[in-house]
Structure 1
Amino acid sequence: MTRTDAITGGRYGRGILRLGALLLLAFATVLTAFGGRAFAVEPISIGRNAEALDLSRAVTIYRNRGETFRISTAPGIDGIVRTIEVQATQESTDGHWAVFALANTTEQQIDRLIVAPHFRLVDSHFFWPDLGSKRIVAITPSEGFALDRVESSDADIFSITLNPGAVVTFVAELASPNLPQVYLWEADRYKDIINSYTLYRGIVLGISGLLALFLTILFVVRGTSMFPAAAALAWAVLAYISIDFGFIDRFFDVPPADVRTWRGMSEVSLAATLALFIFTYLNLNRWNDHLSYGAIAWVMALAGLSALVFYDPALAAGVARFSIAGTALFGSVLIAYLSWRGFDRAIMLVPAWALLIAWIIAGYMTVSGQVDNDIIQPALAGGLVLIVLLIGFTIMQNAFSGGAFQQNLLSNVERQALAVKGSGGIVWDWDVGRDRLSTTPDLGAVLGLGAGKLQGPPKNWLSHIHSDDRDRFRVTLDAVLEKRRGKIDINIRLRGSDGYYSWFAVRARPVVGADGQVIRCIGTIIDVSDQKRAEERLLHDAVHDNLTGLPNRELFMDRLRNALAIANADDAMKPTALIIDIDRFRQVNESIGMAAGDTMLITVARRLRRLLRPHDTLARISGNQFGIILLSENEPGRIAAFADAVKKTIKAPISFAERQIILTVSIGLATFTQARSQDEDLFGDAELALFQAKRFGGDRVEPFRPAFRTSGSDKLQLESDLRRAIERGEISLAYQPIVHSGSLDIAGFEALMRWNHPRRGEIQPSEFIAIAERSDLIVELGNHALELAMRQLMDWDVQLPDARLFLSVNVSSQQVMTRDFANTLSGMRARFSSRRHKLRLEITETVLMQNPEHNSRVLQKIKELGIGLAMDDFGTGYSSLAYLSQFPFDIIKIDQSLVRNDWSQRDILLQSVIAMATNLGLATVAEGVELPEDADKLEDMGCTYIQGFVAGAPVSAEEATELVMEQNPVVSNDDAAE
């Protein structure tokens, strides 16, 4: 580097000198203005006692001035302004320069240090922060030699010497465009400051390291999630302050250029671990799935910033600082909400989080430059360690107070007491010697009777126990005392203060003394009212129709049997059985939908109920048939009038969807006589009368006449026709689609038998299948249906090669009970084999229960043939759950009575059935699905397939093939050849 004097002084006298200086000063000003040189700087006076001066605001920065830089110096003691030219020492430089001037106003030589820290948190900015770097490459004074550098890892330090009265301008070649801070220090004073900071930093680092190590040990000892999260936060804080204090340079040889990357990575780690801690400590995944997903996404995004650190550390650090502020704000709202809800963990975290908020505010004021001093940066580092220390105390308090370390410290008695309390039970203790019965907590207070009402002798309980349960309660207690063994296991009803009874289960065992006498009975008493109500509901549903709430066929026949038994003993009672069949109800369902048909049935049931007296019975005995046991009328004329009233009541128009629908009914009735002493006789005669009413065109009342029994020959004729129908091929199959619950794509079909009689037209399956069962034709009919189904599967092999369908066929009990049923199926498979599509048999649980052991072996053989098995009408019986694991089923078909039920707990029951089937590895088919919203619910519950109005009505084989081809278009042979 070179220096030249622009103006030289003359020796011609003081006046000439001053004049020349003024002229040359003006000339230098002109050159500076037009020649690209910088203006002269204002010097800073330095006194003897000035141990530390902040030169930051006295430094002028010149950016992008090239490799050569010229500047006018500050006027010397003689008032002369000079120009110096400085050459950059780096080959590739951006030409950033800093200029400042110092003046020694004393008469002594002054030695000082110029210190430019590499990193300064103050005014480092929020976004794209200044993460530090090497600041000064070299400093050139306007007089003397270049300054000597003092080695330091965290600052650029140069030593200077100012002679008495000297005014020196310094030009610093900068390594970066920013020079956040420049100090002028007295050497000993700077050394003292560094030593004092070293002590403080060592203490903070030691506390931080011990805290991180302690929390890590706790994580190893206790594997709960909050310990590793807190340990990760502690290690992130330790890494941050190690880099901030320059401690990492003592262990690793980190180039100054890489410190920015390390610093950015430490801030990203701090943000990620803070978010991870608040997520795990507050158990956010337990409270809300969306909240947990958001927290996990936040942490993963911060983890992804680690890659950005290597590309742009400043940007990554800015995002991390924003994340820290966002986490603190979100955590404050969440902690306040959970504390208000009484969550203990959130309440205990309040002090630590309040300190974190204060630290965030102080940090913001620091990075924005609102706070500017040398203490704030190490103070913030210490505050960060204090926050982690307080968090450590918080999780330790939570661990000890919450019993995380005390899980194995409970005695058996304490564990049993906690189990009783956790189960919601009440301790029931009868001190036999003192004849004192007590409950803990007080059952009298629980029932609202008042404290102590049920504390005392057991006889005090009798006035509060239901009258039907008092004798049983008294006898049970006496029996335990007399036999001196056994146990108390009874259910009783206790009346509360509101007058209502609640069911309680008393479970207790006697304690026998040394003399063999019972001295105490102790156990629990538990409120089982909800369970009892559920049992009553199940019992009610077992004998009542789910749609109308009326008694079903079983209850109707039981009441008819009782009525006939009374009539046999009482001549004054003559019950009459009426069977009411709604004419053309199938057409109603097809025209306006099955949901509307259900509405019609409910309306009819409501109208009929209004006609009956209390001792009469109304029941729904089949789909569109109702039965009445009429006990209130004995006279034939009044019975006929009642039947006419029924017909007229039902015929009244029903308003539905702005339409008037008129229903007609056929009614068959039969009155008790001594010849009809059995319920089957009376009911059968009423059926015969109904059959005649239907034959005469319907919309009429037909009382039974003995001549109707001769019409039984019609049934014989129908049976004979059915035998010939199988031979003549009059029996065909209709195919009802079964679709996937999500996409509603066809997965398969259920084969339904149809009989097209040459004279009578189409005969309902319920009619001819009943005849087949009575005449032993059911096996032949069922095998015929299986052959038709297998033939259709073979045809689909050719027509639908790309589809994968299943075809379900119902199997009767007589078929399964035959000894060679499996061999019959094997022979059919050999004759009608299908490679792509699968046959599936549908079997009801009532069939299985007739001979479980035999049926289990038969079904296992069928399974080995590659034929699927489905349990049909699941939910209508009582034994399915016990045999699901015994029989090799693939699918459970949920009965439509469960799907189409409108009671409040339907969804809970369906969810339970579907979840149970899923856990057993079984697919599920929901039958009778009519509404799209029901289909959506079943899809959400995990139901596999749907069958019903939503899926489609039964169709012919050709229509079924077209439906599948529309779903799975097949390329023709010609197209393939092309």
Structure 2
Amino acid sequence: MVVCALVLAAAGIAPAHALEPVSVPVETLALDLSNAIEYRRESTETIQVSTAPGPDGIVRRIEVRSRGTEANPTWVVFHLANNTDQQLDRLIVAPHFRLAGSGLLWPDLGASRIAAITPSQGFAPERQPSQDADVFLVTLDPGSVVTFVAELRTRDLPQVTLWQPNAYKDSVNAYTLYRGIVLGIAGLLALFLTILFVVKGSMMFPATAALAWAVLAYLCIDFGFWNKVFHVEAGADQLYRAGSEVMIAVTLVIFLYAYLNLNRWHVRYSHVVLMTLLALSALFGVAVYDPSIAAGIARMVLAGLGVLGFVLIIAMSLRGYDRAIMLIPTWLLFIAWLAGTGLTLSGELVNDLVQPALAGGLVLLVLLLGFTVMQHAFAGGSIADGLINDAERRALALTGAGDIIWDWDVTRDRIYTSAEAEESLGFKRGALEGPARDWLEVLHPQDRDRFKATLDAVVEVRRGRLAQTFRLRAKDGHYQWFRLRARPILGNDGEVIRCVGTLLDVTDAKTAQERLLHDAVHDNLTGLPNRELFLDRLSAAMTRAQADAAARPAVFLIDIDRFRQVNESLGLSVGDSILLTVARRLGRLLKPLDSLARLEGDHFAIILVSEQTPERVAAFADAVRRAIRAAIAFGEREIFLTASIGIAMYDREQREPDDIVKNAEVAVAFAKRLGGDRIETFRPSLRIAAGDALTLEADLRKALERDEMKVYYQPIVRIEDRSVAGFEALLRWDHPKRGRIPPTDFIPAAERSGLIVQLGLFVLERAAKQLDAWHQSLPGGDKLFMSVNVSSRQLLRHDLINDVKAVLARASLPKGALKLELTESLVMENPEFATQVLARLKELGAGLALDDFGTGFSSLAYLQRLPVDTLKIDQSFLKGNGRNRLVILKSIITLAHDLGMDVVAEGAETDAEAAELAGFGADYAQGYLYGQAMTADDVKKMMEKAQKARA
């Protein structure tokens, strides 16, 4: 570089001006003609040029014919003047490749520039042999002005220089020396890194060595060394130059990935690097098609790697990653090299020193990367150099595994363990050392014989391995699980002299395994057996029953009624607490031979073996029912539950446990259909009833569409004068095949299927519409009211308020004329929610009646908060004899009047019952005494007849 700089400085390349003859001084070593040339592009193979005026002032015209293969070649014209009295020999030099100004996108990768030069006078210039440039020797006579016409092989001529022959030779020699030094350093560096990879085996070395070889390949092409080794046409190395630039980009990506160990940070880094390498590998194919495109993309990738790599290195350095920290200085130098290269490619730096300086800088970068890699790789000490023997490697592996060493000296009968074993068990150091028989004292009693037999077998057969899991008693009395793996070592006489292996504490794994096994067959909430374990125990009970006829099992299935409402109103956590309470209550009823399980949700099952007689089984079922019905205290409130219980007895005909369970499920379903809170024993006729129930539900879905549902009206009379005060709307179903189906059959089916909401809305709309018609048509009809029953599903729906509001708006009924009847038990399921809903209904103008009062477990505190205006006394208080019944009946009526409520008594069938109600002050009565449920036409006839009678 120093020699080259001196030659170039001494040459003092001076710029020349275009279109004027360039005077060639004798002393100037080199003259830049790049700005003194004129481009000509002709459409023919010939060009006519006017020469520069000579000393005589005459301008001549010359014609030059193309010698190349181009149909329309590009020409350049320049003029040289020898104003001296000496003959001058000069070299016209046009370099094949020039990095300065070659461009970033579609760069100029070099080529032979000049095909031929024709002078206006004298002999044609002679082409001089050169691999790096087009060199022509010209002779200028004293006092002559010569015009030169050069035929180009390319469209542009990046640089053309006029050199003194000796100066050009010195410049070439200086560059050759510099290039040789750089190539030598790059070659030695690549070879050294390759050797280190073979010795060390670290992934960083092949990545760095690949980068060094890629740089060496690029320098060989750039310096022309490649052309000297292989026969390549002058200026035809574009493909090799583009390929080497792509290879530098590829190896730099691999180096970053390997050195920074990106796969340890995130798997996505590996995916990104793999996709980048695939894309860059495709550039080799692009280089065959168009080397300029491939080289341009490679240069842009290198610029992007400089920026992205710097961001990545800084980010990892901030996280304390030592490899990234060590790479920061070299990468800053790489960014500076990229900046200088960018200025050179864009033409900002055009000095002839730039290109060789950048080549040397590239080698310096690889050298620094190699030093960084070696510094990091050899910083780990003696263990990191990989020169360890097999015994050391095994010792290191055992240390890394963290296992406890177990060594039994058979000859001396002494066991040795690492200190970790005593520490884990809470013993003092050396407590587990001693004869093998001393180990029997700390072993679990169930593991002692197996452990002793295994040791004796290994010593006797003199081969094999010890692989055993056992329990050792800790100092606090608890047992911990250990796994022993050892092998015998034989002496010169073939006898076992010792057994050596490792102990591993597997208590956590054993505990987790036992927990998984327990959870697989037990319920997570209650800890009771689940369905799989229940069926397994039932199968065992059936097997015992086949051998002993006196041990016949009975299966109880328990389904808590309306438990979903508990979850919806109180929350799932309260529901779980209730299930735990039920499980504990049922568990206290069992004897050791019996079994309790939770099948799913609120379904429990019992295998009863301790009781065999029908009377005792029935008594047990009743005890189960009472246990569930007992109040459950929750905070300041009490929760009351009921359950449907199905019982199935083993009768030796069932072959599988599922058969008994299915029979019990049929019994439970039948108990549910009858309203719940019942005990039903399976009998074959229930299967037929179950099938009928499914058919009934299917027919019920079509009943509304077929207009099979009818609304009937039962009179409610004033007890004082027996005049009709209102009606209760009752739903009847006239089935086309089965005739009239009673409500006790189809209402439970509607509740199960969810159709009760549609039926309730149907009755509400028909009743309101009919009442509106009676108000307008019947004499005295404007004082009538209509009662409509509301189911639990309707009350829990938020749409009930909107439904009632719409019905009242369409019917235009006076306030309180439409009464909604809700059962006492329905309201008390969720009194807080019911109170809010009833208050909204009251605001809309609906009347409210509390049906079946006295049959549930109501709270008087809630009764005074409910906005009801009518109490309906259940008919059970009108039947039977006894003073207590009359006292209760009178108390209910008095309580209702004190709270400002009307009283309606249901089930009045005799005059005596009517007189009794009148004596106690009841307001209204309803029953067969005053009329059964009738159609709207019958109501009209009855009202007209009553009007005539009064008249």
Partner residue of 2:110? Answer: 132
User: Is 1:609 paired with 2:580?
Assistant: yes
* 1:414 Cα deviation from its structure 2 partner: 2.1
Rg (Cα) greater in structure: 2
Q: Is the 8 A contact 1:236 1:273 kept in 2?
A: yes
CA distance in 1, matches of 2:66, 2:617: 129
CA distance in 2, matches of 1:112, 1:240: 32
Partner residue of 2:221? Answer: 243
| Amino acid paired to 1:97 | V
- The match for 2:76 among 71, 94, 97 is 97
| Amino acid paired to 1:87 | V
Counterparts of 1:502-517 in structure 2, within 5 Å, are: none
* 1:155 Cα deviation from its structure 2 partner: 1.0
Unaligned segments of structure 1, at least 5 residues: 1-37, 461-467, 514-518, 562-575, 653-661, 671-683, 719-978
Partner residue of 1:420? Answer: 398
Counterparts of 1:805-816 in structure 2, within 5 Å, are: none
- The match for 2:165 among 181, 187, 201 is 187
| Amino acid paired to 1:643 | R
| Amino acid paired to 2:222 | D
CA distance in 2, matches of 1:428, 1:382: 62
Q: Is the 8 A contact 1:579 1:690 kept in 2?
A: no
Cα distance, 1:358–1:502 mapped onto 2, change above 3 Å: farther
| Amino acid paired to 1:60 | I
CA distance in 2, matches of 1:502, 1:276: 50
- The match for 2:241 among 263, 268, 289 is 263
| Amino acid paired to 1:298 | T
Cα distance, 1:700–1:469 mapped onto 2, change above 3 Å: farther
Counterparts of 1:354-369 in structure 2, within 5 Å, are: 354-369=332-347
| Amino acid paired to 2:47 | T
Q: Is the 8 A contact 1:425 1:526 kept in 2?
A: yes
Counterparts of 1:955-966 in structure 2, within 5 Å, are: none
Please list the CA deviations of residues 886-942 of structure 1 after superposition, one character each: whole Å capped at 9, or x if unmatched. Answer: xxxxxxxxxxxxxxxxxxxxxxxxxxxxxxxxxxxxxxxxxxxxxxxxxxxxxxxxx
Q: Is the 8 A contact 1:438 1:456 kept in 2?
A: no
* 1:258 Cα deviation from its structure 2 partner: 2.5
Q: Is the 8 A contact 1:117 1:155 kept in 2?
A: yes
CA distance in 1, matches of 2:317, 2:401: 27
CA distance in 2, matches of 1:193, 1:52: 10
Partner residue of 2:388? Answer: 410
| Amino acid paired to 1:52 | A
State TM-score, norm by structure 2.
Answer: 0.50
Partner residue of 1:254? Answer: 232
Partner residue of 1:123? Answer: 101
* 1:130 Cα deviation from its structure 2 partner: 1.1
Partner residue of 1:786? Answer: none
User: Is 1:538 paired with 2:509?
Assistant: no
Give 3-state SS (helix, strand or coil) of 1:125's partner. Answer: coil
* 1:126 Cα deviation from its structure 2 partner: 0.5
CA distance in 2, matches of 1:610, 1:584: 15
User: Is 1:68 paired with 2:47?
Assistant: yes
Q: Is the 8 A contact 1:505 1:528 kept in 2?
A: yes
Q: Is the 8 A contact 1:41 1:100 kept in 2?
A: yes
* 1:39 Cα deviation from its structure 2 partner: 8.1
Partner residue of 1:891? Answer: none
| Amino acid paired to 2:347 | G
Counterparts of 1:408-557 in structure 2, within 5 Å, are: 409-425=387-403, 456=429, 458=431, 491=471, 526-528=504-506, 530-545=508-523, 550-552=528-530
Partner residue of 1:321? Answer: 299
| Amino acid paired to 1:620 | R
| Amino acid paired to 1:646 | I
Q: Is the 8 A contact 1:43 1:74 kept in 2?
A: no
Please list the CA deviations of residues 303-348 of structure 1 after superposition, one character each: whole Å capped at 9, or x if unmatched. Answer: 3333333432222221221223234444444455556666676666
CA distance in 1, matches of 2:201, 2:65: 59
Please list the CA deviations of residues 540-578 of structure 1 after superposition, one character each: whole Å capped at 9, or x if unmatched. Answer: 2244036875333687799999xxxxxxxxxxxxxx999
Cα distance, 1:628–1:143 mapped onto 2, change above 3 Å: same
State TM-score, norm by structure 1.
Answer: 0.49
Q: Is the 8 A contact 2:645 2:667 kept in 1?
A: no
Give 3-state SS (helix, strand or coil) of 1:201's partner. Answer: helix
Percent identity over the alignment is 44
- The match for 2:182 among 197, 204, 213 is 204
Partner residue of 1:748? Answer: none
Partner residue of 1:157? Answer: 135
CA distance in 2, matches of 1:493, 1:379: 77
CA distance in 2, matches of 1:274, 1:525: 48
Q: Is the 8 A contact 1:494 1:504 kept in 2?
A: no
* 1:395 Cα deviation from its structure 2 partner: 5.8
| Amino acid paired to 2:579 | L
| Amino acid paired to 1:609 | L
Cα distance, 1:381–1:549 mapped onto 2, change above 3 Å: farther
Counterparts of 1:926-941 in structure 2, within 5 Å, are: none
Cα distance, 1:689–1:298 mapped onto 2, change above 3 Å: closer
Partner residue of 2:22? Answer: 43
* 1:157 Cα deviation from its structure 2 partner: 1.8
CA distance in 2, matches of 1:600, 1:666: 25
Q: Is the 8 A contact 2:114 2:134 kept in 1?
A: yes
Partner residue of 2:559? Answer: 582
Give 3-state SS (helix, strand or coil) of 2:97's partner. Answer: coil
| Amino acid paired to 1:304 | A
User: Is 1:646 paired with 2:628?
Assistant: yes
User: Is 1:308 paired with 2:308?
Assistant: no
Please list the CA deviations of residues 795-827 of structure 1 after superposition, one character each: whole Å capped at 9, or x if unmatched. Answer: xxxxxxxxxxxxxxxxxxxxxxxxxxxxxxxxx
Counterparts of 1:675-824 in structure 2, within 5 Å, are: none
CA distance in 2, matches of 1:581, 1:533: 33
CA distance in 2, matches of 1:164, 1:444: 108
Counterparts of 1:832-871 in structure 2, within 5 Å, are: none
Q: Is the 8 A contact 2:36 2:78 kept in 1?
A: yes
Greater shift, 265-274 or 150-159, is seen at: 265-274
Give 3-state SS (helix, strand or coil) of 1:302's partner. Answer: helix
Q: Is the 8 A contact 1:692 1:702 kept in 2?
A: no
Please list the CA deviations of residues 479-537 of structure 1 after superposition, one character each: whole Å capped at 9, or x if unmatched. Answer: 99x99x999975569899xxx99977688999999xxxxx9999756453541342232
| Amino acid paired to 1:369 | G
Q: How many residues align?
A: 614
Unaligned segments of structure 2, at least 5 residues: 1-16, 434-440, 460-465, 492-496, 540-552, 589-594, 609-615, 635-640, 650-658, 688-951
CA distance in 2, matches of 1:686, 1:136: 102
Q: Is the 8 A contact 1:553 1:619 kept in 2?
A: yes
CA distance in 2, matches of 1:385, 1:287: 30
User: Is 1:382 paired with 2:360?
Assistant: yes
Partner residue of 1:946? Answer: none
Q: Is the 8 A contact 1:693 1:701 kept in 2?
A: no
* 1:626 Cα deviation from its structure 2 partner: 0.7
Cα distance, 1:346–1:693 mapped onto 2, change above 3 Å: closer
Greater shift, 293-302 or 534-543, is seen at: 293-302
CA RMSD of aligned residues (A): 6.4
Cα distance, 1:63–1:219 mapped onto 2, change above 3 Å: farther
Give 3-state SS (helix, strand or coil) of 1:46's partner. Answer: coil
Give 3-state SS (helix, strand or coil) of 2:289's partner. Answer: coil
